[in-house]
Amino acid sequence: MGAKINFTEEKINELKAEMVKNMQEPGPLMPTLHAAQRIFGCIPLPIQKIISNELDVSIARINGVVTFYGHFSIEPKGDTIISVCLGTACYIKGAQGLLDAFSHDLNISVGETSKDGKYTLEATRCIGACGLAPVFTVNEDVYANGSVQLVKKVMQKLKQEK
């Protein structure tokens, strides 16, 4: 994994401020985990321990939630997150080929981050755009009717931007 986690005092204090705010409402764990993911880019064990101490929730429970939900990650993600839908419609229409093309171009496997920390490659189950299959996303941008040629074009554009 190439991306580094930035545990600055400023970021830890930002998380603690979020927790204080979240403790005013019922069920502060989920909003706190979302804040931690946003602030640090992942929720590794040291951050889980801080949350555990502040919210008085066991690390086992926190880790269970973090590892259950796909939005959360215990490893840092890249600056650019590429996600290929492998839901039924996308898979049938060739999504695996798109995933393989991204994997080959980036020289990483699904779930990995490039050594330079720029890209993370993910596979998702469904993004709700089945009529546009196969579909992939680059951060918030959705690409419909995907093809290996489109993957190459998108990667070329991404590498020029960086």
Distances (CA, A) of 121 to 17, 46, 145: 32, 24, 19
Chain segment 72-113, per-residue pLDDT in tens: 888 888 889 999 999 999 999 999 999 999 999 999 999 899
pLDDT at 2 over 50: no
Q: Using DSSP, state whether 82 is helix, strand or coil.
A: strand
Instruction: Name residues whose C-beta falls within 8 Å of residue 66's C-beta, 6 or more positions apart in sequence.
Output: 33, 43, 48, 72, 73, 74
**What average pLDDT does the chain have?**
92
What is the pLDDT at residue 77?
A: 85
Question: Rounded CA gap, 24 and 2, in Å?
Answer: 37
Question: Rounded CA gap, 11 and 13, in Å?
Answer: 5
Question: Rounded CA gap, 154 and 109, in Å?
Answer: 18
Place of tokens 């008085």: 56
pLDDT at 128 over 50: yes
The pTM is what?
0.70
Exposure string over 21-53, b if 16+ CB within 10 A, otherwise e: ebeeeeebeeebbbbbbebbbbbbeebbebbbe
- Domain 80-161 -> CATH class: alpha beta
Cα angle for residues 73, 74, 80 (degrees, 5° grid): 50
Place of tokens 């695996």: 96
Burial of 116 by CB count in 10 Å (0-12 exposed, 13-18 middle, 19+ buried)?
exposed
